[in-house]
Amino acid sequence: MANVIVIGAQWGDEGKGKITDLLSKSADVVVRYQGGVNAGHTVVVKDQTFKLHLIPSGILYPETECIIGSGTVIDPKELIAELDKVEALNVSSKNLFISQTAHITMPYHRMIDQAAEERRGNKKIGTTKRGIGPTYADKSERTGIRVVDMMDTDEFAEQLKWTIDYKNVVLEKLYDLQPLDHKEVLDEYVAYADRLRSHVTDSALHIYNAAQQKKNILFEGAQGTLLDLDHGTYPYVTSSNPVAGGACIGSGVGPTTIDRVIGVAKAYTTRVGEGPFPTELDDEVGNMICEVGAEFGTTTGRRRRCGWFDGVISRYAVRINGLDCLAITKLDVLDGLDEIKVCVAYELDGERCTEMPGSARQFGRCKPIYEKMPGWKESTEHCRTLEDLPKAALDYLEFLAKLTEAPIAIVSLGASRDQTIIVEDPIHGPKRALLKENTSAFKVA
């Protein structure tokens, strides 16, 4: 039995959806523990592509239980639309469970998010404008509405009346927007409640019982370490905690429940939205990576900023999350390059810096210090074992593992499930020891 957390080790969009999907075949329960519809996972199975935002990737396995935990924020309209899409593709939702204490995104959250981002001008954060930040803000302010509130129509109507009256003042006076009609919002959300009612449960108790029964539980994060509200590149972050510690809070489990933490990182680095990005490539190589890697957001369709692999932020992610191993994705995107660079440190105000600064302004002044490696100039998309890889590609992976001080358990070479090298099963394989001199960078134990 193993209870495993899968997290993003960069700025999100690392390919967690595919890795979670691969691991879900060994999992009895998959838990999404934070974020909202601002996140997106793309999973390709044979000739079908599934774009998931709130529903855990494990939904594609009929016997796997999928839980949307209390740390998520749920836009019921978007969730129902997503349910309709997966069910239209003959995917059952009978094993989907929704935490009764998860908070609900309301129409005023989306309106405030959009208006506030526009007001920021050149200080904008790069939010998806889906209302996620304002939903979490209401949660912290203790004025939020939860799934369990929406299930009781009478109490919901009373709570919503007060909340709409309050938010209308903000909408009208601060943002010069039209007020919302309480009755229209109530009718809309009561219909959502009726559709979702059969899925609502005490998710923390559900997860506890699964753990007591020695089931394999996979905790699925959204976004990435560098977007964490507390440990990311603030203020250019999301409004929740994607790091491994957030899995315990957002799922309602104690830390002793967790057996292993897997980090997912691309063979290069991408970022969406605003904020410092030391290894960003504003040239033809960056454009090539973007085009070959199809680097466009699952949720927004925005073009992702692309750059070389950043060892500084990756080591930081290993430390912050206590990573046991890494899954490296999109190695195949680098197939056509003559030379590949890896950032091993920064230069900050004339000094060599091997740790990420806490200040966004300082981070913005960081210049990457690179080590160059030869490219392999041949396709890797059909490789299925480490021995199949070109020597230069294998050397590159070895270098990344030693640089980040985390062994590599999985290598992804394309979007499909079968385009993967499983070096060590992170769920059923033995827990790895710390890297030692002359120890293979790929061994998990």
Known binder of ligand: residue 286? no
Nearest to 293 by CA among 5, 15, 69: 15
Which phi and psi (to 5°) does residue 308 adopt?
Answer: -70, 160
Considering the domain architecture, whether residues 282 and 393 belong to the same structural domain is answered as yes
Q: Which of 41, 129, 199, 443 is catalytic?
A: 41
Known binder of ligand: residue 15? yes
Considering the domain architecture, whether residues 189 and 212 belong to the same structural domain is answered as no
Considering the domain architecture, whether residues 8 and 53 belong to the same structural domain is answered as yes
DSSP state of 53: S
Considering the domain architecture, whether residues 256 and 385 belong to the same structural domain is answered as yes
**Maximum pairwise Cα distance, the chain:** 68
What is the domain extent for residue 244? 3-82+203-422
pLDDT category of residue 322 using cuts at 50, 70 and 90 = very high
Considering the domain architecture, whether residues 244 and 352 belong to the same structural domain is answered as yes
**Does residue 276 sit within a domain?**
yes
Domain count, the chain: 2
Which of 161 and 1 is assigned the larger pLDDT? 161
Known binder of ligand: residue 332? yes
- State which of 154, 169, 198 marks the end of a domain: 198
SS3 annotation, 249-311? HHHCCCHHHCCEEEEEEECCEEECCCCCCCCECCCHHHHHHHHHCCCECCCCCCECEEECEEH
Known binder of ligand: residue 300? yes
43-47, 51-55, 329-333: least confident range: 43-47
- State which of 198, 220, 253 marks the end of a domain: 198
Considering the domain architecture, whether residues 269 and 373 belong to the same structural domain is answered as yes
Considering the domain architecture, whether residues 162 and 283 belong to the same structural domain is answered as no
**Does residue 96 sit within a domain?**
no
SS3 95: coil
Considering the domain architecture, whether residues 221 and 317 belong to the same structural domain is answered as yes
Known binder of ligand: residue 270? no
**Does residue 325 sit within a domain?**
yes
Known binder of ligand: residue 250? no
Active site residue 53: no
Residue 434's pLDDT is what?
30
**Does residue 162 sit within a domain?**
yes
Nearest to 35 by CA among 238, 304, 196: 238
Handedness of CA 256, 37, 222, 4 (dihedral sign): positive
Which of 373 and 40 is assigned the larger pLDDT? 373
Considering the domain architecture, whether residues 233 and 340 belong to the same structural domain is answered as yes
| Helix or strand (DSSP H, E) at 51 | strand 48-52
- State which of 137, 165, 198 marks the end of a domain: 198
Known binder of ligand: residue 436? no
Residue 182's pLDDT is what?
94
Give the pLDDT confidence of 64-106 residue by residue, as tens digits: 999 999 999 999 999 999 999 888 888 889 999 999 999 999 9
Active site residue 139: yes
CATH number, domain with residue 115: 1.10.300.10
Q: Which of 139, 199, 206, 443 is catalytic?
A: 139
The CA distances from residue 101 to 151, 252, 293, 387, in Å, are 11, 10, 38, 48
Handedness of CA 50, 381, 307, 348 (dihedral sign): positive
Please, which residues have CB within 8 angstroms of residue 137's CB and are 6 or more apart in sequence?
Answer: 239
Q: Which of 13, 28, 138, 228 is catalytic?
A: 13
Residue 441's pLDDT is what?
62
The whole model's pTM is what? 0.92
At position 331, the amino acid (one-letter code) is: L
CATH number, domain with residue 319: 3.90.170.10
Considering the domain architecture, whether residues 165 and 227 belong to the same structural domain is answered as no
Considering the domain architecture, whether residues 260 and 369 belong to the same structural domain is answered as yes
pLDDT > 70: percent of the chain: 93
Beta bridge partners of 77: none
**Does residue 91 sit within a domain?**
no
